[in-house]
Structure formats: structure tokens, C-alpha cells
Amino acid sequence: MNLIFLGAPGAGKGTHSALVSKHLNIPTISTGDLLRAAIKEGSALGKEAEGYMKRGDLVPDQLVIDLMRERIAKSDCKDGFILDGFPRTVAQAQALEDLGIGIDAVVNIDVEDEQIVKRMSGRRVCNGCAATYHTIYKPSRTGEACENCGLTLVIREDDKPETVSARLQVYHEKTAPLIAYYEAKGNLQTVRGREELEETTKAVFEALSL
Ligand code: AP5
């Protein structure tokens, strides 16, 4: 199964792709995680992407398309994959189509902007494996450390309120048009992202008939 998770920053794409990934035993490919890893490594891609990400802007299409093309070609994707945060522009969606890869479903998690801003202030991420937590909605059972690898949980650099507003603006301008794009293709499933994580998870699994 090849799936796409669509939605505003903080809508819950990463959280739910991780759950569906575990259920279906297929990898999640998060462009955000790949880019953050490239920054940590200090690679040429990381150096180029860093400024855009700090401002809350999108990294240029061609850089992300090349990154995804390479990642999807790896052997762990042969039985399917979940894309989290890609495509994010119509040009990226067209590039994905040009690769000749069929998409079975696109799950759009719909959350109001006010809710997103409130939510982002409580997000914590693992400095090692990038697992995501929330101080209220999904606290780590081990306090300030990651449940998976024990490393420290941190606030993501682009989760500052001013950067979150910039990211939301970019989302409405450049990514939201993908809702109509996939609706026209007939494989869009919109799920309302509710305050309770479990309710959203249930709706996501129902939308995918899992
Ligand atoms: P990326 O890392 O993809 O960030 P994003 O899309 O802004 O999404 P987030 O990771 O912030 O949120 P999410 O929807 O995964 O929510 P999460 O599950 O964590 O991208 C970062 C940057 O990289 C971009 O700004 C851009 O610069 C660049 N980039 C990435 N892809 C690109 C591309 N294709 N093209 C160009 N540039 C690209 O949930 C958020 C929080 O809420 C968590 O704490 C979670 O526990 C909690 N939560 C989740 N669901 C619920 C719920 N229902 N109720 C309560 N809490 C919930």
C-alpha cells in the first residue's frame, strides 16, 4: 500500500504515519526528518535546506524531489510506503506521478489553525530517533526522555510561535491546493483532527479500512 499523509504543520501527520506504518509494516518516509538528518550531518543538502527550514519556508522543489526519488527506490519500499510531508506543492505531486508510482490513498488531516498553534507549543521530539511526544496529549512514559531510545526530548527549532505562523501561511498558499488536486483524482480521505489523539487515530484507521 502506498499512502500519503497531508495536512498543516502539526496536524498529526508524523504521529499517525508512525502508527499506520507499524500496523502495515511498511516504512514512513518523512521529508522533514530526512532534511533534519541532513542538517545534523552537515551535508551539502543540509547546508542548503537549513535557512529555508529555520524561516518556516519550503525547501526548493527539486532538492526534495531528488531526495524522495532516491529514498523511494530503496528496497524497504518494495511492499509499500507512507509519505509524511511529501508532496507539499503541486509540482512535487506531479513529479511523484512522473515516477510512475500509484498512490492508494491520501489521508488529509484537517485541523484549525488556532488548534495547531496551541498544540505546537507542547510538542517534544527525540533528539536521536525523532519520535514525537506532546506534554499534554502524548507524554513520554519516561518523563523527559524518549521511550524508544532514552535520549533527551527537545523542542524543535521551527516550533517557535513566529515560525509556526510562517509555516501555516506557507501551508495555505502552497500545500492546501493539493487537497483539490487529490480530490479530483478520487483518492482523498479527509479526517477531522480532533483534540483527543485516540479519536483522530480511530478516524484515520477507519478512513483506510484498517
Ligand atoms: P516537517 O517536519 O514535515 O513538518 P510539518 O509538515 O510542518 O509537520 P510537523 O512535523 O510539524 O507536524 P505533523 O503533522 O507531523 O504533526 P505531529 O504528528 O508531529 O517539515 C519541516 C520543514 O521541512 C518544512 O517547514 C520545510 O521547510 C521542510 N520540508 C519538509 N518537507 C518538505 C517538502 N516536501 N518540500 C519542501 N520543504 C519541505 O503532531 C504535532 C503535535 O501534536 C505532536 O506533539 C503530537 O503528539 C500532537 N498531536 C498529534 N495529533 C494530535 C491530536 N489529534 N490531538 C492532540 N495532539 C495531537
Sites in the chain below the pLDDT cut of 50: none
10 lines ligand 1 (CB under 6 A): yes
Could you tell me where the beta strands, DSSP code E, fall in 128-207? 132-134, 153-154, 188-192
Q: Give the pLDDT of residue 14.
A: 96
| pLDDT tens digit sequence for 179-200 | 999 999 999 999 999 878 999 9
171 lines ligand 1 (CB under 6 A): no
User: CA-CA distance, 122 to 136, in Å (whole number)?
Assistant: 7
- Please name the amino acid found at residue 61: D
| CB 10 within 8 Å of CB 120 | yes
Q: At what angle do helices 31-41 and 61-72 cross, to 10 degrees?
A: 100
64 lines ligand 1 (CB under 6 A): yes
pTM confidence score: 0.95
Q: Is 69 left (phi over 0), alpha (psi -120 to 50) or beta?
A: alpha
C-alpha cell at 75: 528496497
Whole-number Å distance, alpha carbon 144 to ligand 1 midpoint, is: 20
Percentage of the chain with pLDDT > 90?
A: 93
Q: Give the pLDDT of residue 194.
A: 85
